[in-house]
Chain A
Amino acid sequence: MEFFRVNNDIPFMRHAVKFNVFSVTLVLLAIFFLVTRGLNLSVEFTGGTLVEVSYPEAVQVEPIRQALSREGYTDAQVQHFGSARDVLVRLPTREGMDSDRISENVLATLQAMDGPDPELRRVEFVGPQIGDELAADGALALLFVLIGIMIYLALRFEWRFSLAAIVAILHDMIVILGFFALFQWDFSLAVLAAVLAALGYSVNETVIIFDRIRETFKKKRGMNTPEVINHAITRVISRTIITHTTTLMVVFTMLIFGGETLHYFSLALAISIIFGMYSSMLVSSPVVMWLGVSREQFIKPKKEKEEAVV
């Protein structure tokens, strides 16, 4: 079986401007949402308490909110989590409160209410000092990945390719964060980990396309730059789509079977993989073209070697 037996090169670069306009619009929208709505950071980053409980039958959140409010927890966020029987209570850190006792007080309050007793599912308490640290560690991990990939690409390719690949990564990153800001999905450390892993995974797609572009420049003398890029993308598209599809299959099984805990994690993976696929073909390649890549840069093997060392 074969899905993509394409004999003629697909003229991707003819539509390069359209793709670029689309990408730029996406990024601008993402930045807009990031600025206006911001990320819905989980307690790991902000510090605070999260209590998840499960009731034997469906419950309303409003009475729970009122009960907590009577106990002095006026800023408690109460919401259903996955089903009408599961409830999630979130409380920000407050000065002067015995913060490491909040979870017990919340549970005691819920148990004192009329109706069935809830069962404790999960408590997460993160003190303010840890929250800042985790946020800083998350940022460092992000930076480490970006710099690591940049160094790798700089060793692997000429500057035009490296720059284009980095543009593609930043594009993906901003778009994913934009999604999380737009829908106010819970942005936790696990989500950040998923995004970073998926970014690493997508970069190699870009690497493979660039390898093909370089190879095509050397082999096919009659083609101009857009034709070379079209040819390279067409040659690898089958592979790109198949590998990303298999990975997406797994991610979708996680979305289906993984439950609430893995929900945003797999969502982040899914979006990262889809945009990784898009950007490696249709963001990085046009950028390379605009940066003026041409055959002359490859015909002298000596020169290429020099640049590869940089």
Chain B
Amino acid sequence: MNRFPIWKNTLIILVLLFGLVYTIPNFYGEVPAVQISSGKATVNLESALVQPLDRALREEGLNPTAVLIDENSIRFRFDDTEEQIRARDLIEGRLNPDPADPSYIVALNLLPATPNWLTSIRALPMYLGLDLRGGVHFLLEVDMPGAVVNRLDSTAGDLRTLMRDRRIRHAGINREGNSIHLRFRDAEQRAAARTAILNNTNDLQLVERDDADDDLRLIATLTPQAQQTIREFAITQNITTLRNRINELGVAEPIIQQQGAERIVVQLPGVQDVAKAKDILGRTATLEIRMVDDSPGALEAALQGQVPFGTELYTERGGSPLLVRNEVVLTGDRLVDAQPGFDGQTNEPAVHLTLDSAGARIFRDVTRENVGKRMAILLIERGRGEVVTAPVIRTEIGGGRVQISGRMTTTEANQVALLLRAGSLAAPMEIIEERTVGPSLGAENIARGFNSVMWGMVAIAIFIAVYYSAVGIMSVAALTANLMLLIALLSLLQATLTLPGIAAIALTLGMAIDANVLINERIREELRNGSSPQAAINAGYDRAFDTILDANVTTFIAGIALLVFGSGPVRGFAVVLCLGIITSVFSAVLVSRMFVNFLYGRQRKLAGIRIG
């Protein structure tokens, strides 16, 4: 007699049922949908939007089959693409009366057609990777040394202001490498400066150095904690900025994630215009406001090749040359917002800037002292600067609201505003990895993966059923259960399925049958040695168990190594490999035994086993 106790059978059947339920969502396919998300940081998505939109849609004869609301989006599901497109136009018209300044992003999307009762128990289809659904993957690296240098430059400016406020006489404050050198003529002033700085900030550590009797220096470096904060700030700030920029693209389900200390992963499923995506993402620019050196003769000297110390030569957008001081007054991280608009009095196109409080204070001081002079707003892209605009300061500007106007068309104002917004990245970034998969290749990859798994399965099933007869058919049933459980686990965990991942599913099937072969060969051997059929089944399963565990340990080691060290598609392969090993041990040892028990276990006097 070979029987499992009732609790064991129940447990196995429950696991199989669970597997079945979580596998089902994968068979429903996708339906068209319209997705609404917030287009501005200031606009909140409210569920109150849904009712009027729903009514409006129904009045037009468009019947959304479902409305899904979550934190970041509202989604309407439709029966066909024609309805979807009409609905998109209608919603777009309702929510964004001014197309030039959209408050909401209305995008076309595909949603799983999973029935609601399944969605409610979190039974979702597997999450397909970009190589299967098509789209763009970027890995961006934040230039951390650049972030630190930026910060030192602005700190040097702060120190100058501090010295001036406290009336401490110094002989120059400059950044040299990763430190700021403050020069003094006498020790008294230096001591005063030291106290002033330490009272003012915790971010700096100070060292004194005497280069000559009248060249006393105070060398300020950032504390390790401060540097750490800068790095953390830089990456979070960049992620936020990226998120805002990507919203402008209207991608349905973008992924923006931090990876490691200084990298950001951006995945844009379904995006086909890679050039535009890169234009918006890859604008690895930082914004700097500096003063223009208008002293007589300096520009002429610079044009002849003798750029005065402490200044740089730039070309304005109009084409005329410009001499800009090295000291940074403000960087882009003080900029909160930049919007195109019009001057309230002259009705000229203008750009309105909003600064944060620290930025506003600095800006007020600088403008007060420099009325009549020019300031340059530079966009630094990949180490090269470009003067966006160089307006004249007409009056002291307080309150942090700045308007740049004059000599601009509406388009230019729009462009400058976009550039300035884009420029509010804390540190420059660079694309260090890109993977783009076209939509046709994605669909093809799914077909290829599906065919590999299906025909692999068919080949194994025929071979094993013929080779091991009735017991073989039970093995095939267990293998099917294994496939189902694996897909259920992948769906439940929402692990990213890639093409190598599908290959791993096929491979797992090929390897999983190994356990059944082990068991069946053992049973044959026991029968050959003269055991009774029931004893042979029992011994076959018992003895094979150790070997099955053994057989899977080494593959598991390889899977874990790939999981730890692999990235992208390889990781997808490793996840499936590891999960597949777990499900295959379960199905070979327990599920197939249960099936064989159902087949033979009840007969007290078993004449023979059909094992080929």
Contact = CB atoms under 8 A, between A and B. Distances in A.
A196 interface: yes
Given A121-B441, A196-B562, A238-B521, A246 B570 contact: no
Contacts of A249: 456, 459-460, 463, 510
A122 B437 contact: yes
A214 to B, nearest CB: 13
Interface in B430-456: 430-438, 440-441, 444-445, 448-449, 451-452, 455-456
Contacts of A239: 517-518, 521
A259 interface: yes
B570 A193 contact: yes
Nearest to B459: A249
A242 B464 CA distance: 9
B574 interface: yes
Given A200-B559, A251-B507, A251-B510, A246 B448 contact: no
B342 to A, nearest CB: 35
B507 A204 contact: no
Interface in B128-180: 131, 139, 141
A104 B278 contact: yes
Contact of B565 (A138, A156, A262): A138
A144 B573 contact: no
A266 B449 CA distance: 12
B577 A197 contact: yes
Contact of A137 (B434, B504, B566): B566
Contacts of B558: 145, 148, 196-197, 199-201
A292 interface: no
B347 interface: no
B388 to A, nearest CB: 21
A208 B553 CA distance: 12
A217 interface: no
B577 A253 contact: no
Contact of B561 (A134, A148, A265, A266): A148
B441 to A, nearest CB: 5
Contacts of A208: 547, 550-551
A138 B570 CA distance: 10
Nearest to B548: A204
Interface in A184-216: 189-190, 192-193, 196-197, 199-201, 203-204, 207-208, 211
Interface core residue of A142, A196, A251 (most chain B CB under 10 Å): A196
A196 B573 CA distance: 12
Contacts of A265: 500, 503
A122 B441 contact: yes
B459 A141 contact: no
Given A197-B507, A204-B550, A204-B552, A246 B517 contact: yes
A190 B570 contact: yes
Given A2-B612, A249-B460, A249-B463, A200 B555 contact: yes
Given A201-B554, A257-B451, A141 B430 contact: no
A127 B432 contact: yes
Interface core residue of B456, B500, B504 (most chain A CB under 10 Å): B456
A243 B506 contact: no
Interface core residue of B382, B452, B555 (most chain A CB under 10 Å): B452
Contacts, number: 221
Interface in A25-74: 52, 54
Nearest to A242: B517
B261 interface: no
Nearest to A243: B514
Nearest to A197: B558
B456 A1 contact: no
Main secondary structure of the interface of A (DSSP, over half): helix
B499 interface: yes
Interface residues of A, number: 68
B282 interface: yes
Interface core residue of B141, B437, B441 (most chain A CB under 10 Å): B441
Given A119-B440, A122-B436, A247 B445 contact: no
B66 interface: no
Contacts of A109: none
Interface in A245-296: 245-251, 253-254, 256-259, 261-262, 265-266, 269
Nearest to B556: A200
A140 interface: yes
A258 B554 contact: no
Interface in B250-293: 274-275, 278, 282
A203 B554 contact: yes
A100 B565 contact: no
A152 interface: yes
B432 A257 contact: no
B200 interface: no
A243 B513 contact: yes
A307 interface: no
A134 B570 CA distance: 11
B467 interface: yes
B448 A247 contact: no
Contact of B434 (A124, A148, A245): A124
B562 A197 contact: yes
B433 A137 contact: no
Interface string A220-260: 00000000000000000011001101111111011011110
A144 B565 contact: yes
Contacts of A129: 141, 432
A82 B456 CA distance: 22
A134 B432 CA distance: 12
B467 A1 contact: yes
B391 interface: no
A182 interface: no
B510 A1 contact: no
Interface string A110-134: 0000000001111111110110001
A149 interface: yes
Contacts of A251: 507, 510
Nearest to B555: A200
B83 to A, nearest CB: 28
A123 B441 CA distance: 11
B196 interface: no
A269 B559 contact: no
Interface in B489-542: 499-500, 503-504, 506-507, 509-511, 513-514, 517-518, 521, 524
A284 to B, nearest CB: 13
A242 B517 CA distance: 8
A210 B227 CA distance: 57
Contacts of B500: 190, 193, 262, 265
B510 A103 contact: no
Interface in A137-184: 137-138, 140-142, 144-145, 148-149, 152, 156
25 contacts: A120-B274, A122-B441, A124-B436, A125-B435, A141-B565, A142-B561, A149-B557, A197-B562, A197-B577, A200-B555, A200-B558, A239-B517, A247-B507, A247-B514, A248-B510, A249-B510, A250-B452, A250-B460, A250-B507, A251-B510, A257-B451, A258-B449, A259-B444, A261-B499, A265-B500
Closest 9 A-B residue pairs measured CB to CB?
Answer: A200-B558, A250-B510, A127-B432, A247-B510, A250-B456, A123-B436, A257-B451, A141-B565, A204-B551
Given A119-B440, A145-B557, A148-B558, 12 more contacts: A2-B612, A103-B434, A122-B437, A129-B432, A189-B570, A199-B554, A247-B511, A247-B514, A250-B452, A250-B510, A251-B510, A269-B507
